[in-house]
């Protein structure tokens, strides 16, 4: 195993990497709500009358991302990332006796995320068949989330915790000589708390990202 690990490319301990790329965030629900009227029946709490229902979700979004990492060891890197996106809050209206079910285009958010996390490069070598320059890793971390409504009159904050993995592919510098240059792909599962949500529940959604990184 030790011999295998020696042949896999790795980041330099004590070195920095800077990356830039794009991230796709998947959709997630932010709550079902029912507009209800007080029903006309005896008793203090008669059955409600439904005026309409509204199912809201944050739509998928693609955003630019910048990421800076610092190698603690050749396999462990701490990193900080920032991204900006403009997802929409789409609303599906249903059960309105006077209007057809419909999807409203919704408002466009301004969403800022700042994440801090760690990647651990797996001690495996994928070998010549997959590519000697490819190194998989797992990742985990936490994200500060800030969401501004379309009119920028109200901001909400939240936290996202994530776990995932990916791989780095060295275009050059895989053997540790010279400046590293490569491609990186990530897939994460995100667990979002707070932020814009009408039920105050934890929401789970995926993100996929692709980036170019440079080592210093």
Interface contacts to another protein, rule CB under 8 A: 31, 33-46, 48-49, 51-52, 54, 56, 89, 91, 93, 96-99, 102, 104-108, 149-151, 153-154, 196-198
| In the block, residue with structure tokens 């009408």 | 198
3-state secondary structure 78-137: EEEEEEEECCEEEEEEECCCCCCCEEEEEEECEEEEEEEEEEEECCCCCHHHHCCCEEEE
Q: Smallest gap, in angstroms, from Cβ of residue 195 to another protein?
A: 12
Residue closer to another protein (CB basis): 52 or 191: 52
CB-based contact 215:16 (threshold 8 Å): yes
Q: Smallest gap, in angstroms, from Cβ of residue 129 to another protein?
A: 51
Query: Tokens for 67?
Result: 């990421």
Residue closer to another protein (CB basis): 70 or 198: 198
Q: Smallest gap, in angstroms, from Cβ of residue 87 to another protein?
A: 13
DSSP state of 201: -
Residue 130 burial by CB count (10 A; 0-12/13-18/19+): exposed, middle or buried? exposed
Task: For residue 48, count other CB atoms closer than 10 A to its CB.
Answer: 12
Residue closer to another protein (CB basis): 54 or 66: 54
Q: Smallest gap, in angstroms, from Cβ of residue 215 to another protein?
A: 44
Q: Smallest gap, in angstroms, from Cβ of residue 198 to another protein?
A: 4
Residue closer to another protein (CB basis): 6 or 45: 45
Residue closer to another protein (CB basis): 49 or 216: 49
């Amino acid at each position: 195993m030790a011999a295998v690990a020696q042949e896999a490319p790795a980041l330099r301990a004590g070195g920095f990497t800077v990356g830039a790329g794009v991230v796709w965030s998947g959709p997630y629900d932010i709550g079902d709500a029912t507009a209800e009227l007080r029903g006309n029946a005896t008793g203090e709490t008669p059955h409600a009358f439904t005026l309409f229902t509204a199912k809201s979700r944050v739509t998928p979004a693609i955003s630019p991302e910048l990421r800076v990492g610092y190698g603690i060891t050749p396999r462990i890197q701490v990193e900080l990332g920032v991204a900006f996106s403009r997802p929409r809050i789409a609303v599906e209206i249903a059960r309105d006796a006077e209007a057809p079910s419909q999807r409203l285009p919704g408002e466009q958010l301004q969403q800022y995320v700042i994440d801090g996390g760690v990647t651990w490069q797996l001690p495996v070598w994928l070998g010549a068949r997959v590519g000697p320059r490819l190194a998989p890793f797992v990742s985990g971390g936490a994200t500060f989330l800030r969401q501004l409504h379309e009119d920028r009159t109200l901001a909400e904050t939240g936290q996202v915790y994530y776990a995932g993995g990916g791989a780095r592919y060295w275009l050059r510098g895989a053997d540790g000589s010279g400046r590293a240059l490569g491609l990186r792909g990530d897939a994460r599962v995100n667990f979002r708390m707070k932020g814009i949500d009408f039920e105050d529940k934890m929401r789970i959604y995926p993100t996929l990202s692709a980036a170019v990184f440079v080592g210093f």
